[in-house]
């Protein structure tokens, strides 16, 4: 079964806080993505919430004896979503010019760009992007949110400033 990954806004955690929800892709008998309406209760039963501290997300790491509903506000938001992210293309010559990045990082990025089954970077909002990465031990997803604060675009300061929502590394470049 294939799935679609949704970036959901976490309203209770700030303006740029986001998390991921994975919904199943429903296909018809010929293997095409279904164009007919799918019952939301069917989708929510097979959905996975990856939002940190959400009870539904805790189910992913717990045994079958856990008694927690699979439905949550994040899954419902993903089911109701009608917005599509904007894939951004990356020219491989740009990756080659990243002299500050280690060779293994550039090689991995080249691999991601060459594998066109999934975009490397997707714009979610003006300042939030989803970037493909390698799965980590704490999260099996291959994606992270990267945020460029509004203040970066409004000031004349040209230094690179962004934040990654990785709980493992807590990356913030200024």
Predicted TM-score (pTM) of this structure: 0.73
The C-alpha atoms of residue 12 and residue 31 are separated, in whole angstroms, by 39
* Strand partners for 143: 132
Per-residue pLDDT at 169: 43
Per-residue pLDDT at 88: 86
Per-residue pLDDT at 69: 46
Per-residue pLDDT at 172: 42
Indicate the Cα dihedral angle 80, 18, 169, 96, nearest 10°: 80
Spans of the chain below 70 pLDDT:
1, 13-16, 35-36, 58-70, 136-140, 150-174
Whether 129 contacts 145, CB under 8 Å: yes
Per-residue pLDDT at 105: 79
Per-residue pLDDT at 166: 58
Per-residue pLDDT at 156: 57
Indicate the Cα dihedral angle 72, 5, 52, 101, nearest 10°: -170
Please report, for the chain, the start and end positions of each structural domain, with discontinuous segments joined by +. Answer: 3-85+124-173
Mean per-residue pLDDT over the chain, rounded: 75
Per-residue pLDDT at 171: 42
Per-residue pLDDT at 58: 62
């Amino acid at each position: 079964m294939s799935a679609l990954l949704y970036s959901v806004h976490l309203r209770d955690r700030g303006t740029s806080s986001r998390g991921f929800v994975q919904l199943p892709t429903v296909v018809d008998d010929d293997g095409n993505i279904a164009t007919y309406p799918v019952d939301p209760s069917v989708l929510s039963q097979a959905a996975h919430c990856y939002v940190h501290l959400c009870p539904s997300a805790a189910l992913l790491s717990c045994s079958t004896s856990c008694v927690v509903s699979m439905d949550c506000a994040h899954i419902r938001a993903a089911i109701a979503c009608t917005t599509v992210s904007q894939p951004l293309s990356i020219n491989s010559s740009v990756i080659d010019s990243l002299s500050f990045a280690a060779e293994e990082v550039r090689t991995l990025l080249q691999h991601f760009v060459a594998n066109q089954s999934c975009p490397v970077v997707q714009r979610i909002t003006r300042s939030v992007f989803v970037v493909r990465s390698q799965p980590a031990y704490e999260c099996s997803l291959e994606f992270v949110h990267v945020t460029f604060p509004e203040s970066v675009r409004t000031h004349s300061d040209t230094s690179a400033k962004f934040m990654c929502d990785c709980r493992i590394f807590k990356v913030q470049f200024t």
